[in-house]
């Protein structure tokens, strides 16, 4: 255990123990082995207890990690500029749908910017799995934009929605449960969780031919010529269904997904033989997802080649793929930065620090990627005009 990690409070420990008990019961009822994605689903989303659905702070300085919209309003203002370009194409009413809206700060900053640009959507829909986050979003949006509040709608599911406009999701794909695999010479194992002395421990189950082995064999054929043995990595089993649901609701418009990740050839590079799974707890990273379940975030990078493939299979057209720095600069980041500068030296320093964090390669600038898909829209989104790396997918 990393001794430098801050200790949870008594209350947090009790909460974590309740989730751990439920996970252990699940492992026993599954016969002693739980695939990792089932564990991750419970750790993050178990009703009332999971990391995202219970009351942990999660975002911001006091939380576990900082996302781009939490770091700076400039991020959401640039996203708004991209949305405005699309919304302006419509003769009819058009809307924005945000998936996994976190604290609600991106929605608030985007709507404020869209209002400044006179490009407000008819509705701003939010699909949020977490009742706790939904409440936080409602509080921030009611406080900051009382006059627009009636146009913001929370959805329980995407069923029946027909969307003309833009779908946005920042750091949602990386928080979907992943299946972990270990590819050896002749066999493929699924990695998961078992119990030993009353504790969750890593375990492997050798797979017969199934959906996961077929997918891993496909990855091995494409990228695995020089894979080490064993080669451990992960994949997102929900991706295709999720993209299909987006392709199904979007009638006309743009889907924009922002996250940390790589094209498949880099994701499944021989050197990355331990995969990309990581946990966040109070701004520290650990590699132990079984530590303080429910109190720490668990996440994996995104395979953007798989996203592109799933999107096109869902009837969407790939509109571009670039890194966050290029995308923000192509959406007026520099002009927005200059416009915000005033005489206050502290404010200037803070703002330039935000721009650095958003764009420097070692910060978010190159680690984060943006992928866009259009449907029935004759537009090359401005965010991909500076550099488009679609050929790398
Ligand atoms: C890392 S947080 C990012 C929050 C916010 N977008 C931000 O940038 O600050 C991940 C969010 O994705 C949501 N999420 C995970 N899976 C989802 C899904 N299948 N559909 C919609 N939201 C999802 C979580 O509930 C959480 O709000």
Q: Report the alpha-carbon distance of residue 3 to residue 7 in Å, rounded.
A: 9
Position 55 scores a pLDDT of: 67
Measuring from atom 13 of ligand 1, which residue has the nearest CA? 100
pLDDT tens digits along 229-243: 999 999 999 999 999
Structure tokens, 276: 């990309």
Position 1 scores a pLDDT of: 42
3-class DSSP string for 362-382: HHHHCCEEEEEEEECCCCCCH
Structure tokens, 311: 């999107």
- The answer to whether the beta carbons of residues 68 and 258 sit under 8 Å apart is yes
Residue range 362-382: average pLDDT?
A: 95
Ligand 1 geometric centre to CA of 127 (Å): 9
Rg, the chain, Cα only: 21
- The answer to whether the beta carbons of residues 45 and 52 sit under 8 Å apart is yes
Ligand 1 geometric centre to CA of 65 (Å): 13
- Mean pLDDT (the chain) is 94
- The answer to whether the beta carbons of residues 291 and 278 sit under 8 Å apart is no
pLDDT tens digits along 150-170: 999 999 999 999 999 999 999
pLDDT tens digits along 273-323: 999 999 988 767 878 999 999 999 999 999 999 999 999 999 999 999 999
Ligand 1 geometric centre to CA of 170 (Å): 7
Q: Which of 140, 168, 172, 242 to mutate to test the pocket of ligand 1 (most atoms within 8 A of CB)?
A: 172
The atom number, within ligand 1, closest to the CA of 172 reads 12
Structure tokens, 359: 């764009």
Position 25 scores a pLDDT of: 98
DSSP state of 65: B
Is a pLDDT exceeding 50 seen at residue 2? no
The atom number, within ligand 1, closest to the CA of 70 reads 9
Position 7 scores a pLDDT of: 83
Measuring from atom 5 of ligand 1, which residue has the nearest CA? 102
Ligand 1 lining (C-beta closer than 6 Å): 52, 59, 67, 69-70, 99-102, 106, 127, 129-130, 133, 170-172, 175-176, 242
Give, rounded to a whole angstrom, the gap between the first and last alpha carbons of the chain.
37
The atom number, within ligand 1, closest to the CA of 258 reads 8
DSSP state of 100: S
Is a pLDDT exceeding 70 seen at residue 61? no
Q: What pTM does this model have?
A: 0.95
Specify the 3-state DSSP secondary structure of 139: helix
């Amino acid at each position: 255990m990393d001794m430098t990690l801050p200790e949870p409070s008594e209350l947090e420990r009790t909460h974590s123990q309740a989730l751990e008990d439920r996970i252990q019961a699940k492992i026993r009822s599954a016969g002693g082995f739980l695939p990792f994605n089932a564990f991750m689903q419970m750790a993050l989303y178990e009703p009332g207890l999971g990391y995202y659905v219970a009351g942990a702070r999660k975002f911001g300085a006091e939380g576990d990690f900082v996302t781009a919209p939490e770091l700076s309003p400039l991020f959401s203002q640039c996203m708004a500029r991209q949305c405005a370009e699309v919304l302006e194409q419509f003769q009819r009413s058009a809307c924005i749908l945000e998936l996994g809206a976190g604290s609600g700060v991106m929605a608030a900053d985007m709507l404020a910017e869209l209002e400044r640009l006179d490009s407000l959507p008819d509705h701003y829909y939010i699909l949020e799995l977490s009742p706790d986050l939904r409440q936080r979003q409602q509080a921030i949006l009611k406080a900051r934009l009382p006059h627009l509040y009636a146009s913001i709608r929370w959805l329980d599911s995407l069923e029946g929605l027909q969307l003309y406009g833009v779908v946005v999701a920042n750091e949602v794909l990386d928080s979907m449960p992943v299946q972990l695999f270990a590819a050896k010479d002749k066999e493929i194992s699924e990695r998961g969780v078992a119990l030993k002395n009353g504790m969750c421990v890593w375990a492997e189950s050798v797979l017969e031919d199934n959906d996961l082995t077929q997918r891993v064999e496909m990855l091995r054929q494409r990228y695995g010529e020089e894979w080490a043995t064993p080669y451990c990595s992960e994949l997102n089993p929900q991706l295709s269904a999720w993209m299909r649901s987006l392709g199904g609701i979007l009638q006309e418009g743009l889907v924009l997904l922002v996250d940390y990740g790589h094209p498949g050839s880099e994701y499944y590079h021989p050197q990355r033989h331990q995969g990309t799974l990581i946990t966040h707890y109070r701004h520290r990273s650990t590699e132990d997802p079984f530590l303080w379940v429910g109190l720490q975030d668990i996440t994996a990078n995104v395979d953007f080649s798989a996203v592109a493939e799933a999107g096109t299979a869902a009837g969407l057209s790939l509109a571009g793929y670039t890194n966050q720095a290029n995308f923000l600069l192509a959406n007026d980041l520099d002009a927005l930065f200059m416009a915000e500068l005033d005489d206050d030296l502290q404010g200037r320093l803070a703002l330039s620090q935000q721009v650095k964090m958003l764009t420097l390669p070692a910060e978010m600038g190159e680690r984060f990627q943006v992928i866009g898909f259009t449907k029935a829209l004759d537009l090359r989104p401005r965010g991909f005009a500076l550099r488009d790396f679609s050929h790398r997918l």
